[in-house]
Chain A
Amino acid sequence: MPRKSTRLDLAPIDGKLLEVTDLHVEFRTRDGVAKAINGVNFSLSPSETLAILGESGSGKSVTAQAIMGILDSPPAFVTGGQVKYCGVDLLTMPEKDMRRVRGDHISMIFQDALSSLNPVFPVGWQIAEMFRIHRGMNRSDAQEQAVRLMERVRIPAARERAGNYPHQFSGGMRQRIMIAMAIALDPRVLIADEPTTALDVTVQAQIMTLLKELQEESGMGLILITHDLGVVADVADDIAVMYCGRFVEHCDVHRLYANPAHPYTVGLIDSIPRLDQKGEQLFAIGGLPPSLTHLPTGCSFNPRCRFATEECRVAGAPPFIEVEDGRFAACYHTEEVLNRERV
């Protein structure tokens, strides 16, 4: 197997690491075509943290996997758009170059570290594999690097534990190992797909702090995928809210929490339990998300939306436009939503 010992030479253009333009992904299944991603646009700069927020099936993970080029195809097909990394479209990049981007330039960590690590290899070996494949290092040098990384993500007794298997670690430690593996080669972009969902709350905070610290050290761009508003509030710069494969709102954290511009974001924020409303029934968004094989006409959210009018049902999907300075939303009634009566 050819070993490439150097990094593919790519540098950020105009301060942008990643630019995703009009990304479309569909799943062709026996039951029909599920339109998982329907025109996603965003960009990421070094040291920036973008949180992508959405419920299960909204297309967060599919977006991440499309960027990485690791969607299972079939059934998944990227049907349109561009994913530009340092000015190069990853979607049209030859697979042999793309392999050198994955892990080296753009890395990813996953939700369930137990099943995401290979159960039959020691964790040190799995981390060291990054150096052996991408840097052509020999076994012992790579192992040494792996131990250093385990120390960097604060795994106690790293040297002794490098020979242990994933099942011998706690959930938090396993996620640290995933992180060590992902940051091994100093990637410029790290995509964290629900990194704390499988962990308990105190460990969640530790992992988020670790990610933040690593980002400050290296200046990597961080895409944080989650369905938990609480997790992202402290660490994210921007939040993008996803619904049915579209970004419905995208702005900085403070404005999004203070006053959402899309009815779906309003629903999400209203459904956070609040201490001052203890004992009252929790708010929930009515209805269920539609099936991706049979999306409603017009705005996908219209069947569940209290602001919906005839226009939302008949006209096409609302365009994703700048409604305030640096704030984007896809709704025909943004004004109304922003000036709504507050609870």
Chain B
Amino acid sequence: MLKYVIRRLLQMIPVVIGATFILFCLVFALPGDPTAGRCGDRPCPPAYVAAFRAEYHLDKPLLVQYGLYLGRLLHGDLGVNFYGNTVVSELAARYPVTLRLAFIAVLVEIFVGIAAGVIAGVRHGGFLDYLILVSSLVVISIPIFVIGSLAQLVFGMKLGWFPVTAGDGSWSQLVLPGFVLGALSVAYVARLTRANLIDNQHADYVRTAKAKGLSGFRIVTIHTLRNSLIPVITFIGYDFGSLMGGAIVTEQIFNINGIGNFIFRSINQRDGVSVVGAVTCLVLVYLLANLLVDLLYGVLDPRISHD
């Protein structure tokens, strides 16, 4: 088990290096001038441009730039962006917000999604089943910016239950955005849980559980659900990994100062140092989340061994 974790961690090194290189190339290839608009309405004086390019090594060839960057990365230094702030401090200011948002979204997925899936699965073919199937289809079909705007209008403006935008990104302000962000995955989780539960209801071990004289409630909640949740939890785990990469659309709608918004702005402003730093960080987070899911898989299903 420990060996497996170490092996997986070592495998991350080439992935991270490869990812940073591809990112670096992509940012290098971006058209546009990072100095544009830095000097008000006038174009910047050539001396300023030259100084700026020298300071950020933009005058050097791609590979040299990349080498310098990797060297700093080894010391945990993600560099200083074009606004003079360290990328580490920019991320540190925003990551807690993104984490809180992802956390709320995943909680919604777990509680609402699994509960809906179980109800639909147990009432297979009944009214509640169709209701959940149809409503999840509706949620999947509507783009998230529509859901977000609707939620703002209904729960923020008309009912006034939640703040319309999230100013400082505290827990209470992130509840509504969290529900919106989780909505799509809730629909998938509900459908996945339902399908797996129905499949498992005819499994041989369920027949055994009936023959043991267990109640229907115990069979579903203890025996069937535990088996049905293995793929569902895998899905939620991967989803958590990608949610921690920020949610550009949701963050824009609710004006949340998170990672997604930060990357979006940095790309717009050709702030290459910020983009590469932030995305490298996301790659790492995603890899770690994947590792966690794989370990969790082994805990849920004893047939899977990591030795």
The one of A1, A100, A117, A119 in contact with B213, judged by C-beta atoms closer than 8 angstroms, is: A100
Contact A181 B212, beta carbon cutoff 8 Å: yes
- In the assembled complex, the CB of A284 is this many whole angstroms from the nearest CB of chain B, namely 30
Interface status of A99 (Cβ within 8 A of chain B)? yes
Stretch at the interface among A128-136, A200-208, A226-234, A241-249: A128-136
Closest to B218 in A: A1
* B303 A119 Cβ-Cβ under 8 A: yes
Q: For residue B127, give the distance in angstroms from its CB to the closest CB of chain A.
A: 17
**Chain B binding surface, main DSSP class:** helix
Chain B 218-239 interface residues, beta-carbon cutoff 8 Å to A: 218, 223, 226-227, 230
B64 interface hit (Cβ, 8 Å): no
Q: How many A-B residue pairs have CB under 8 A?
A: 75
Interface pair B205/A119, CB less than 8 Å apart: yes
The answer to the question of B83 belonging to the interface, with a C-beta cut-off of 8 Å to chain A, is no
User: Nearest Cβ distance between residue A177 and chain B, in whole angstroms?
Assistant: 11
CB neighbours (8 Å) of B223 from chain A are: 118, 121
In the complex, B203 has a CB within 8 A of chain A: yes
Most buried by A among B210, B211, B223, B227: B211
The segment out of A104-112, A262-270, A306-314 that lies at the interface is A104-112
Which range contains the number of A residues in contact with the other chain? 20 to 34
| Interface contact A120-B212, CB-CB below 8 Å | no
Task: List residues of chain B with CB within 8 A of the CB of A130.
Answer: 212
Q: CB distance A167 to B213 under 8 Å? A: no
Known: A110-B208, A116-B207, A118-B223. A133 touches B213 (CB 8 A): yes
Q: Measured between C-beta atoms, what is the minimum distance from B307 to chain A in Å? A: 13
Q: Known contacts being A115-B203, A115-B205, is A120 close to B226, with CB within 8 Å?
A: yes
Q: Report if B214 contacts A (CB, 8 A).
A: yes
Partner of A118, one of B202, B205, B210, B300: B205
Cross-chain contact B202 with A72 (CB below 8 angstroms) = yes
List of A residues within 8 angstroms of B226 by Cβ: 118, 120-121
Q: How far is it, in angstroms, between the C-alpha of A128 and the C-alpha of B210 when the chains are bound? A: 15
Question: Does B301 have its Cβ within 8 Å of any Cβ on chain A?
Answer: yes
Q: With the chains together, A182 CA to B209 CA distance in Å?
A: 11
Inter-chain contact A120/B227, CB cutoff 8 Å: yes
Partner of B212, one of A72, A133, A167: A133
B46 CB within 8 Å of chain A: no
Say yes or no: B302 contacts A165, CB within 8 Å.
yes
C-beta contact mask, B187-225 vs A, less than 8 Å → 1, else 0?
A: 000000000000000111101111111110110000100
Q: Are B218 and A165 in contact (CB under 8 A)?
A: no
**A68 at the binding interface (Cβ < 8 Å):** yes
List residues of chain A with CB within 8 A of the CB of B205.
115-119
Q: Mark A168-208, 1 if CB is under 8 A from B, else 0.
A: 00000000001001100000000000000000000000000
Q: How far is the CB of B199 from chain A (nearest CB, A)?
A: 13
Minimum Cβ distance to chain B for residue A128 (Å) = 11
Instruction: Among A100, A117, A133, point to the contact of B208 (Cβ < 8 A).
Output: A117
Q: Enumerate 11 A-B pairs (CB-CB under 8 Å) in ascending A order.
A: A102-B211, A103-B212, A110-B207, A110-B211, A116-B207, A117-B205, A118-B208, A120-B226, A133-B213, A165-B303, A181-B212
Query: Which residues of B does A touch, CB under 8 Å?
Result: 202-205, 207-215, 217-218, 223, 226-227, 230, 300-303
